[in-house]
């Protein structure tokens, strides 16, 4: 049994190892000069490969399809797979990492096992065409072709962070296999926002609650370290909200709550009390005891107040304007940070056209899919690597067991 796998990310490597362990002769075709470039950057170089909380609500896509896949290869099976490659784990706030806290450990473990099993890895081989010949599947890269293969597995990823390899080839390649590709859009990505203060806030980080609203209705909220950038907002809570913020047609805004532990009345009382105790202070001086310095001038301007005013000069309405912003400082979302900064792709090969028991194509015989190329994406927290490896294992297992037809 010969198997050709297009794409050497975690999904392709997991498929290659599983199929080779089952005795198949495997060739992995990778566009870049080495496999697993994206894997190396995951989790800030620490590789958050799974999560203790494996509730399927962390996935977006067709729920029945996702459930069927995890019935075949459960999250524990994925940990067992890594364990079988020699990787041990450590957990932080439920997030599972290699014990070394280095993504290179995960990639090395996969590369070593693939090498030990004799997987043929062809780097700098960008596949442009896929066709059937009498002997099986043939893949074409420029003037050269590789094949034939009895079985083909497509694991070319999506389009997020194209500098790391996956740059949307899923669209032409899946189409050659007569599959529908749902529109791709970036997620787990920073948000572009409209605000005159972003230039002066850029680089400022602080713990805050970020609330996503659309037309006044709250959609979701996340607490964590928010980062202001020249063009908008970033940081884990913003990345987590980005998928919903960027839903096509949605008018979204992010409200930053600087004092989430206080309600509006308590915020007002705090500022009023400071004005009473420190009437001689200018507004920046009065706020400097309670706020990150970088926020103070933008916040006073946003409240429509004058920087030279003293705390004692503020009337109740002005105190309300200032304290209101501590509770709710709103930034309209006007776009995303672009594919280069995105961690994940929403969209991909339509799940209706894939059999979730096997990851096999419902359109083409002897053809399988795995990983981010499929129209399923997960939350931040290890869910995307879990998906890539689980589907890779399933595709590799099915392809190596299938009768050739
Ligand atoms: C900065 C960053 C941090 C992340 N951190 C995490 C994290 O901590 N935890 C988590 O769960 N997820 C994380 N992700 C998401 C995760 O990395 C991906 O979901 C996962 O790598 C998808 O695996 P894949 O094998 O399907 O695709 P990819 O990893 O994208 O691999 C696809 C491979 O196919 C190759 N390829 C593409 N086109 C062709 C072609 N035509 N011919 C040959 N080869 C081709 C590419 O070069 C690439 O090597 C992160 C992503 C990024 C960008």
| Tens-place pLDDT, residues 198-236 | 999 999 999 999 999 999 999 999 999 999 999 999 999
Residue of 28, 343, 374, 376 to mutate, ligand 1, most atoms within 8 A of C-beta? 343
Question: Could you tell me the pTM of the whole model?
Answer: 0.93
Helix axes 103-116 and 37-45, enclosed angle (nearest 10): 150
What pLDDT, on a 0 to 100 scale, did the predictor assign at position 142? 86
Does one domain contain both 182 and 327? no
Does one domain contain both 197 and 304? yes
Q: Which domain holds residue 251?
A: 190-337
Of all helices (H) and strands (E), which one includes residue 283? helix 283-288
Cα of 40 vs centre of ligand 1, distance in Å, is 9
Atom of ligand 1 at shortest distance to CA of 164? 47
Cα of 46 vs centre of ligand 1, distance in Å, is 15
Q: Provide the CB-side half-sphere exposure for 291 (13 A, CA).
A: 27
Question: Using CA atoms, how far apart are residues 221 and 240, in angstroms rounded to an integer?
Answer: 9
pLDDT digits (tens, 9 = 90+) for 291-340: 999 999 999 999 999 999 999 999 999 999 999 999 999 999 999 999 99
Closest CA to 151 of 5, 353, 350: 5
Look up the CATH number of the domain holding residue 35.
3.50.50.60
Does one domain contain both 314 and 368? no
Residue of 94, 140, 385, 391 to mutate, ligand 1, most atoms within 8 A of C-beta? 385
162 confidence band (pLDDT: 50, 70, 90): very high
Cβ of 389 below 6 Å from ligand 1: no
Does one domain contain both 258 and 126? no
The total of structural domains in the chain comes to: 2
What pLDDT, on a 0 to 100 scale, did the predictor assign at position 131? 96
Cβ of 75 below 6 Å from ligand 1: no
Question: Using CA atoms, how far apart are residues 335 and 320, in angstroms rounded to an integer?
Answer: 31
Cβ of 38 below 6 Å from ligand 1: yes
Does one domain contain both 73 and 90? yes
> Is pLDDT above 90 for 403?
no
What pLDDT, on a 0 to 100 scale, did the predictor assign at position 48? 97
Q: What is the mean pLDDT of the chain?
A: 96
What pLDDT, on a 0 to 100 scale, did the predictor assign at position 171? 98
Atom of ligand 1 at shortest distance to CA of 370? 26
**314, 337, 360 - which closes a domain:** 337
Closest CA to 186 of 256, 252, 103, 248: 248
| Cβ(197)–Cβ(375) below 8 Å | no
Cα of 97 vs centre of ligand 1, distance in Å, is 17
Does one domain contain both 170 and 194? no
Give the 3-state secondary structure of residue 380.
coil
pLDDT digits (tens, 9 = 90+) for 244-283: 999 999 999 999 999 999 999 999 999 999 999 999 999 9
Cα of 373 vs centre of ligand 1, distance in Å, is 9
Burial of 291 (0-12, 13-18, 19+ CB in 10 A): middle
Cβ of 343 below 6 Å from ligand 1: yes
402 confidence band (pLDDT: 50, 70, 90): confident
> Is pLDDT above 90 for 405?
no
Does one domain contain both 178 and 36? yes
Does one domain contain both 283 and 391? no
**337, 361, 381 - which closes a domain:** 337
Cα 22-27-29 angle, rounded to 5 deg: 135
Cβ of 344 below 6 Å from ligand 1: yes
Residue of 8, 9, 349 to mutate, ligand 1, most atoms within 8 A of C-beta? 9
What pLDDT, on a 0 to 100 scale, did the predictor assign at position 404? 60
Does one domain contain both 180 and 208? no
| Cβ atoms within 10 Å of 258's Cβ, excluding its own | 21
User: Across-strand partners of 227?
Assistant: 205, 234
Atom of ligand 1 at shortest distance to CA of 156? 34
Does one domain contain both 38 and 168? yes
Does one domain contain both 316 and 393? no
List % helix, strand, coil for the chain (3-state, nearest 5).
40, 30, 35
Question: Using CA atoms, how far apart are residues 236 and 240, in angstroms rounded to an integer?
Answer: 6
- The backbone torsions φ and ψ at residue 24, rounded to the nearest 5 degrees and listed phi first, read -75, 155
**286, 307, 337 - which closes a domain:** 337
Does one domain contain both 232 and 276? yes
Mean pLDDT confidence for 145-169: 97
pLDDT digits (tens, 9 = 90+) for 84-104: 999 999 999 999 999 999 999
Atom of ligand 1 at shortest distance to CA of 32? 47
Residue 93 DSSP one-character state:
T
């Amino acid at each position: 049994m010969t198997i050709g796998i297009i794409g050497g990310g975690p999904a392709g490597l997991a498929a290659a190892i599983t199929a080779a362990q089952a005795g198949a002769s495997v060739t992995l075709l990778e566009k870049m000069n080495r496999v697993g470039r994206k894997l190396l950057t995951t989790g800030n170089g620490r590789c958050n490969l799974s999560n203790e909380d494996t509730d399927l609500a962390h996935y977006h896509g067709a729920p029945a399809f996702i459930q069927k896949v995890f019935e075949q290869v459960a999250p524990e099976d994925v940990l067992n797979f890594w364990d079988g490659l020699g990787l041990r784990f450590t957990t932080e706030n439920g997030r599972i990492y290699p014990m070394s806290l280095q993504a290179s450990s995960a990639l090395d473990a996969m590369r070593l096992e693939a090498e030990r099993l004799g997987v043929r890895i062809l780097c700098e081989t960008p596949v442009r065409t896929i066709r059937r010949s009498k002997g099986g599947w043939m893949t074409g890269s420029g003037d050269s072709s590789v094949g034939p293969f009895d079985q083909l597995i497509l694991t070319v990823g999506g389009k997020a962070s194209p500098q790391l390899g996956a740059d949307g080839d899923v669209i032409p390649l899946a189409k050659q296999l007569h599959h529908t590709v749902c529109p791709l859009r970036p997620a787990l990505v920073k948000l572009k926002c409209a605000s005159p203060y972003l230039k002066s806030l850029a680089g400022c980080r602080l713990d805050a609650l970020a609330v996503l609203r659309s037309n006044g209705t709250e959609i979701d909220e996340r607490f964590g370290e928010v980062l202001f950038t020249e063009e908008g907002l970033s940081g884990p809570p913003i990345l987590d909200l980005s998928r919903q913020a960027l839903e096509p047609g949605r008018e979204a805004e992010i409200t930053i709550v600087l004092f989430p532990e206080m309600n509006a009345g308590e915020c007002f009382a705090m500022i009023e009390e400071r004005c009473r105790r420190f009437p001689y202070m200018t507004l920046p001086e009065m706020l400097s005891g309670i706020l990150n310095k970088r926020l103070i001038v933008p916040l006073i301007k946003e409240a429509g107040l004058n920087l030279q005013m003293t705390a004692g000069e503020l009337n109740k309405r002005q105190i309300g304007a200032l304290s209101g912003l501590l509770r709710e400082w709103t930034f309209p979302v006007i776009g995303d940070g672009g594919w280069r900064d995105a961690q994940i792709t929403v969209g991909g090969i339509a799940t209706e056209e894939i059999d979730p028991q096997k990851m096999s194509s419902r359109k083409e015989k002897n053809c399988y899919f795995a990983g981010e190329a499929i129209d399923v994406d997960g939350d931040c927290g290890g869910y995307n690597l879990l998906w890539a490896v689980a589907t890779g294992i399933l595709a590799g297992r099915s392809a190596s067991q299938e009768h050739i037809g």
